Amino acid sequence: MKFAKPIMVLVIVISVLSALAASYGAFVGGGPGSYQFESLRSGEITIYGEGLYKYESIALGPQARGQDVVTLFLWIPLLIISLYIALKNSLRGKLLLTGTIGYFLYTYTMYTFIQFNEMYLVYIALMASSLYAFILSFMSLEIPQLRAAFTEKIPVKTLAAFQILSAFGLAFRWFADLVPSLLTGTAPSELQ
């Protein structure tokens, strides 16, 4: 596998740092408990008030805590397993590793831009490590090996239709809240 050493080092860094951040987010308590806060745009909102996410809204705090649990018990083990398989030069392993690193890149990019708490510098380190690992993992894929793996049997039209329908579904869901708010000059009802 191309770039095996740097990918392995980055995956270890991602595993350790995400275990630290996710454990802290999932299991450390404290805080004043939920309370009301006057928002600049959408009136009164409920603040979660517990643990690492004590300053987040009641909608975001439990979601972030749940994501930490899933990261800890599903994604970190999957990252380690996919690295092991990818190091055997398996195409499936490389694809699985690239996709799994993509999860960490997405998650900690979002955390870097949404959460500001005690783990903020860890989130930045995770975002950077995940970005470099994703690029290297993607570059380790060999085009001829990819071409050979995909045959005429793959239902390309079905997969394309699914992706297009998913895109329309997401667009409809988001635009249903955004467009009326933009037209009336108000904040979306779900904005906290």
pLDDT digits (tens, 9 = 90+) for 125-142: 999 999 999 999 999 998
Q: Does the pLDDT value for residue 98 go beyond 80? A: yes
CA-only gyration radius of the chain, Å = 20
Is the pLDDT score of 191 beyond 80? Answer: no
- What average pLDDT does range 63-82 have in this prediction? 98
pLDDT at 117: 93
- At residue 1, the pLDDT reads 87
The dihedral through the CA atoms of 138, 141, 142, 143 has a sign that is: negative
pTM above 0.85, yes or no: yes
**Cα distances (Å, whole numbers) of residue 139 to 90, 103, 132, 135, 142:** 14, 17, 11, 6, 8
Encode pLDDT of 22-67 as tens digits.
999 999 998 899 999 988 776 788 999 999 999 998 989 999 999 9
Burial class (CB in 10 A: 0-12, 13-18, 19+), 105: buried
Does 83 score more than 80 pLDDT? Answer: yes
Identify the pLDDT of residue 159.
Answer: 92
Confidence band (pLDDT; 50, 70, 90) for 192? low
- Let me know if 100 is exposed, middle or buried by CB neighbors in 10 A (0-12, 13-18, 19+): buried
pLDDT for res 16: 99
Asked if residues 67 and 107 have their Cβ atoms less than 8 Å apart, the reply is: yes
Token pair of 147 as six digits: 């071409």
Q: How far apart are CA 104 and CA 89, in angstroms?
A: 22
